[in-house]
């Protein structure tokens, strides 16, 4: 090990960083183009911070999408130096480059600047019926309790429930890049999430959809794994798709679906808690 390997890199804070941002206004531009900006790198600056500063101090016409700024909503997913990231949790200093190239997620139409049109993502998600399906419709429409689910049963799908629908997986998927009819990794991983939910009884109904078991569904996945590498939440949609393939094939050769979970019994010996603290009086009078 060389004597300099353990030494920290020289701080770049206070240095000037160049940003190249893809611009496109469909009302006046014939094609997208890049525009350059320069910013002084500040401690803790994220790519989203940089875009906000550019808009506030240099170019008020710049368009981007954001909401929570906490890596939860998925709104600010974009391509940064050739890879999909959530801009709000991507530190400029960690990109280790004096040139930051920002453009919208590929495999989607561009609405404006770095704002992609995610309608295909949400349409595919809707097509796989992302909700609990059961035969007891009266209980679903007028619930009287909770369906019983053990912690182990929750673990079967919990990882795939962390999806924030940022769209990064479709931007990284090589199949999506060549086939705009492909359902995509986000929706297919969500389909697996509901197919293994112990409360769900909609396996056949969901598998019968074109989006899941059709010619443009899960069998178009080539298992490149790029979607899982791009996912900022560790959902691993590539794994979900392969598990869904196995589950559907098992049903084709005679596998049986277990009965969905029933209502949990309400304890009869429960006693009211009298030691719950009361809320403080209001400080603002109406």
In this model, does residue 4 exceed pLDDT 70? Answer: no
Residue 102 pairs with which residues in a beta bridge? Answer: 21, 80
pLDDT band with cut points at 50, 70 and 90 for residue 19? very high
Q: How many CB atoms lie within 10 A of CB 253?
A: 6
Residues 199 and 161: beta-carbon distance below 8 Å: no
In CATH terms, the superfamily for domain 119-252 is: Alpha-helical ferredoxin (1.10.1060.10)
Which range, of 17-26, 57-66, 187-196, 247-256, averages the lowest pLDDT? 247-256
Residues 247 and 196: beta-carbon distance below 8 Å: yes
Q: Which two tokens stand for residue 41?
A: 């790198």
Q: How many CB atoms lie within 10 A of CB 60?
A: 8
pLDDT band with cut points at 50, 70 and 90 for residue 281? confident
Residues 113 and 140: beta-carbon distance below 8 Å: no
Question: Rounded mean pLDDT of the chain?
Answer: 92
In this model, does residue 1 exceed pLDDT 60? Answer: no
Distances 95 to 115, 132, 248 between C-alpha atoms, Å: 21, 41, 41
Sheet order of strands, 77-80 included: 33-40, 16-23, 99-103, 77-80, 83-86
Q: What are phi and psi of 178, to 5 degrees?
A: -115, -10
In this model, does residue 286 exceed pLDDT 70? Answer: no
Render pLDDT for 57-93 as a digit per residue (tens, 0 to 9). Answer: 999 999 999 999 999 999 999 999 999 999 999 999 9
**N-term to C-term CA, the chain:** 69
Question: Does 16-116 carry CATH code 3.10.20.30?
Answer: yes
Quick one: which of 193, 194, 190, 186 has its CA closest to 166? 186
* For the chain, domain boundaries: 16-116, 119-252
Q: How many CB atoms lie within 10 A of CB 218?
A: 25
Q: Which two tokens stand for residue 231?
A: 């996912």
Residues 46 and 89: beta-carbon distance below 8 Å: yes
What's the CA gap between 216 and 214, in Å, rounded?
5
pLDDT band with cut points at 50, 70 and 90 for residue 273? low
Instruction: Identify the pLDDT of residue 11.
Output: 76
Dihedral angle over CA of 140, 143, 145, 149, nearest 10: 20
**Strand ranges for 81-205 from DSSP E:** 83-86, 99-103, 110-112, 115-116
């Amino acid at each position: 090990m060389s004597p300099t390997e353990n030494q920290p890199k020289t701080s770049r804070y206070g240095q000037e960083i160049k940003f190249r941002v893809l611009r496109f206004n469909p009302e006046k531009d014939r094609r997208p183009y890049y525009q350059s900006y320069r910013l002084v790198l500040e401690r803790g600056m994220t790519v989203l911070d940089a875009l906000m500063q550019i808009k506030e101090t240099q170019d008020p016409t710049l368009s981007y999408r954001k909401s929570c700024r906490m890596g939860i909503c998925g709104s600010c997913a974009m391509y940064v130096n050739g890879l999909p990231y959530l801009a709000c949790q991507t530190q400029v200093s960690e990109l280790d480059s004096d040139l930051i190239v920002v453009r919208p997620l590929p495999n989607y139409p561009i609405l404006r600047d770095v704002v992609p049109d995610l309608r295909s993502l949400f349409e595919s998600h809707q097509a796989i019926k992302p909700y609990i399906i059961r035969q007891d419709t009266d209980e679903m429409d007028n619930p009287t309790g909770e369906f019983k689910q053990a912690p182990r049963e929750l673990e079967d799908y919990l990882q795939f429930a962390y999806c924030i629908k940022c769209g990064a997986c479709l931007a990284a998927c090589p199949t999506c890049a060549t086939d705009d009819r492909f359902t995509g990794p986000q929706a297919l991983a969500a389909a697996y999430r509901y197919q293994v939910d112990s409360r769900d009884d909609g396996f056949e109904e969901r598998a019968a959809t074109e989006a899941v078991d059709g010619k443009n569904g899960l069998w178009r996945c080539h298992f490149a794994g790029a979607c899982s590498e791009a996912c900022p939440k560790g959902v691993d949609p590539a794994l979900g798709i392969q598990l869904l393939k196995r589950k559907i094939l098992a049903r084709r050769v005679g596998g049986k679906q277990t009965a969905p979970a029933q209502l949990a019994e309400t304890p009869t010996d429960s006693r009211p808690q009298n030691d719950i603290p009361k809320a403080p009086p209001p400080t603002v009078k109406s």
